Structure 1
Amino acid sequence: MKQKDSHLSNRQKQALQTRQRLLDAGLAVFLENGFQKATISQIIKKAKTGYGTAYVYFQNKDELFIELMEDVMNRFYEVAELSFEPKSKSEAYEMIEHQVRLFLKLAIQEREIMKVVKEAIGLSVAVNDKWLEIREKFIKRITVDVRYSQQNGLAKPTLNAAVIARAWYYANEMFMWEIVEKDITSIEDIVSNLTKMYTGGLYL
């Protein structure tokens, strides 16, 4: 058990282990069957957990899948949260290019689960609502970076930071889905052109 859980009682530790078993089983079932064909019964069986116990943690497959989706998207969000305090346009370009590359590489690394995410967004209202919430989180973070560049005389001050951030996120998301769905493995051309387009339009 991890050090941070050392203060928990045996019952609490067991509860965390059971919950994690359900998540691990859920991931395996979703990857094998896709979202539509996966069932909570399959997940419970794979986790070797009783039905009553399982429903204490997750009421349905949508709820369990949302947690898996949040977990994978947190890895994408770590890229958005990278420190961004450039002192020049060229430094901003390098930082942005690095972020785009990391973001799209994650799309390749997480391709199989992201295919299921794409399917689930189209089938589940709850998953779609959570996706919209995640999207807004990204856009708010990007807005902070745009405003930093404007406030430090690097970017055009007349542009609406929130609108630019939304457009930038959508461009990256579009290519993320294309990489996932078309099994694209070569991303350098996308990275280069995306970065040039964005910095060319925003920066002075």
Structure 2
Amino acid sequence: MTNSIDKLSPRKQQALQTRKKLLEAGKEAFLENGFQKATIAQIIKKANTGYGTAYVYFKNKDDLFMILMEDLMNQFYEVAEIPFKPQSKDEAFDLIKKQVRLFLSLAVKEKNMMIIVKEAIGISPEIDQAWYKIRERFIDRISIDIEYAQENSLARANLDPSLVARGWFYSNEMFMWELVQNEGSYSMDEIIHNLVSIYANGLYE
């Protein structure tokens, strides 16, 4: 089976390879130096490309980092997209618990890059805005799951799905950063048990 990249012209294939090299070099530079101290010059040197070449693909280091952040967050979206069609409160509880564990475990697994994401959010207005959009996408997905539960008479109908989803995501996000930065005194199991118990028992009838 022919790979789709093989169907591209040699020039376009080269362009894709150059972009990939810059992204890989960028990830190395950010992990080695942190977001603030990493520079386009470092990235170009690691990628072994011409100085002007980098600006063909990215406006600046913030632009390059946003691509890396989006690629990373796509792994988290896969967790959020796990089918959620519970037939009972107990089944919903188990599915939610599974998702939270996968979400937090992925954050810990990718902690080195997540620490750079946290730094970048606090420094770059563009990345802060990109993170806002990422957050909203998660909240929208959670809202869909809550609406499903309400439509199937599992969850309380008098609750606003988007408000509940927003509170739920913020809680997960807070503990995610604590785990990534080793700031909390609670284990992942303790966090999951308490988070899910409060959420599921408050939402589901």
Shorter-chain-normalised TM-score: which range? Answer: over 0.9
Q: In structure 2, what residue type is equivalent to 1:5?
A: I
Alignment partners' CA distance in 1, 2:26 and 2:160? 42
Instruction: After TM superposition, give the deviation of residue 77 of structure 1 in Å.
Output: 1.1
Alignment partners' CA distance in 1, 2:118 and 2:54? 25
Aligned position for 1:202: 203
Alignment partners' CA distance in 1, 2:194 and 2:166? 18
Judge which range, 182-191 or 135-144, deviates more. 182-191
Aligned position for 2:188: 187
Map residues 38-117 of structure 1 onto 2, 5 A cutoff.
38-117=38-117
Alignment partners' CA distance in 2, 1:72 and 1:140? 19
Cα deviation 1:108-150 (Å, max 9, x = unaligned): 1010000000000000010000000100000000000000000
1:155 equivalenced with 2:151 (yes/no): no
Instruction: After TM superposition, give the deviation of residue 190 of structure 1 in Å.
Output: 0.9
Instruction: After TM superposition, give the deviation of residue 59 of structure 1 in Å.
Output: 1.4
Cα deviation 1:134-191 (Å, max 9, x = unaligned): 0000000000000000000000000011000000000000011001111779411111
Q: In structure 1, what residue type is equivalent to 2:193?
A: S
Matched position secondary structure for 1:85? coil
Q: In structure 1, what residue type is equivalent to 2:60?
A: N
Count of residue pairs the alignment pairs up = 203
Stretches of structure 2 that go unaligned for 5 or more consecutive residues are none
Map residues 106-145 of structure 1 onto 2, 5 A cutoff.
106-145=106-145
1:31 equivalenced with 2:31 (yes/no): yes
Stretches of structure 1 that go unaligned for 5 or more consecutive residues are none
Aligned position for 1:178: 178
Alignment partners' CA distance in 2, 1:11 and 1:28? 26
Alignment partners' CA distance in 2, 1:121 and 1:54? 22
Instruction: After TM superposition, give the deviation of residue 4 of structure 1 in Å.
Output: 2.3
Identity rate, percent: 57
Instruction: After TM superposition, give the deviation of residue 193 of structure 1 in Å.
Output: 1.1
Q: In structure 1, what residue type is equivalent to 2:195?
A: L
Alignment partners' CA distance in 1, 2:154 and 2:128? 36
TM-score (norm 2): 0.96
Matched position secondary structure for 1:157? coil
TM-score (norm 1): 0.97
Q: In structure 2, what residue type is equivalent to 1:170?
A: Y
Judge which range, 72-81 or 185-194, deviates more. 185-194
Cα deviation 1:46-82 (Å, max 9, x = unaligned): 1000011111001110000000001111111111111
Alignment partners' CA distance in 2, 1:36 and 1:145? 38
Instruction: After TM superposition, give the deviation of residue 34 of structure 1 in Å.
Output: 0.2
Alignment partners' CA distance in 2, 1:10 and 1:186? 51
